């Protein structure tokens, strides 16, 4: 990669990070303002998925790491009953909290790229978006199941089933559709 391409990529990564911050702040503000809202989907992972496909797994993993760090910071500052899952700095949190906050988000930056590289078509874009979203869901929920099994009154399975039946389906649908729409648009801007 020449110097000009490298500079453009760094600028694009900065833009993706800024978009992630805006999505995080706006979505958290909206969902916090509506406490009765049963669904509180995560949307910050969508730029990670798109960057993974467009720029590759290295950039995707870097943005995924950024997403994980944002999760730790948010759950440390805005403490909720479940903040210990993502922050070792709140009551009940520990080293496992960092694993749950960061590792799934890094993997979001890798799995969509691999799926799209294997399929390399419109269906592959949709699958990449879905798999990226499911990567987050399955690894976060799997981490909760294995690393914090005694939480939620010992009934962690009910909590995880509720999340799978609600949030995860909405997140997968949104990620799939936006990936199929936005990646081709980004490619058309490049040419």
Domains and CATH numbers, the chain: 3-186 (1.10.1760.20)
Contact call for residues 125 and 178 (beta carbons, < 8 A): no
Residue 156 confidence class, pLDDT cut points 50, 70, 90: confident
CA 186 distance to own-chain centroid:
20
Nearest to 141 by CA among 100, 109, 110: 100
What pLDDT score was predicted for residue 31?
64
Mean pLDDT (whole number) for 93-119: 96
Residue of higher predicted confidence among 3 and 88: 88
Contact call for residues 141 and 160 (beta carbons, < 8 A): yes
What pLDDT score was predicted for residue 122?
84
Which contiguous run of DSSP H or E holds residue 140? helix 122-147
| Three-state SS at 54 | helix
Contact call for residues 65 and 125 (beta carbons, < 8 A): no
Gap between the Cα atoms of 165 and 167, Å rounded: 7
What pLDDT score was predicted for residue 121?
87
Q: Kindly state the tokens that stand for 20.
A: 């992630």
The answer on pLDDT for 22 being more than 80 is yes
Gap between the Cα atoms of 76 and 88, Å rounded: 8
Nearest to 66 by CA among 92, 80, 47, 84: 47
The single-letter DSSP state of residue 153 is G
Contact call for residues 111 and 131 (beta carbons, < 8 A): yes
């Amino acid at each position: 990669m020449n110097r000009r391409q490298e500079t453009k990529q760094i600028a694009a990564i900065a833009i993706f990070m800024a978009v992630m911050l805006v999505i995080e702040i706006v979505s958290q503000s909206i969902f916090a303002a509506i406490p009765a809202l049963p669904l509180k989907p995560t949307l910050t992972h969508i730029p990670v998925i798109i960057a993974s496909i467009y720029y590759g797994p290295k950039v995707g993993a870097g943005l995924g790491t950024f997403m994980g760090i944002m999760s730790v910071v948010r759950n440390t500052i805005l403490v909720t009953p479940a903040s210990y899952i993502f922050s070792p700095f709140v009551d009940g949190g520990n080293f496992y909290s960092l694993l749950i906050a960061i590792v799934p988000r890094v993997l979001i930056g890798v799995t969509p790229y691999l799926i799209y590289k294997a399929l390399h078509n419109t269906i592959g874009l949709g699958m990449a978006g879905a798999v990226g979203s499911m990567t987050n869901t399955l690894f976060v929920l799997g981490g909760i199941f294995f690393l914090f099994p005694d939480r939620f009154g010992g009934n962690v399975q009910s909590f995880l089933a509720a999340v799978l039946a609600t949030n995860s389906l909405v997140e997968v649908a949104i990620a799939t559709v936006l990936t199929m729409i936005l990646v081709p648009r980004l490619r058309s801007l490049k040419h």
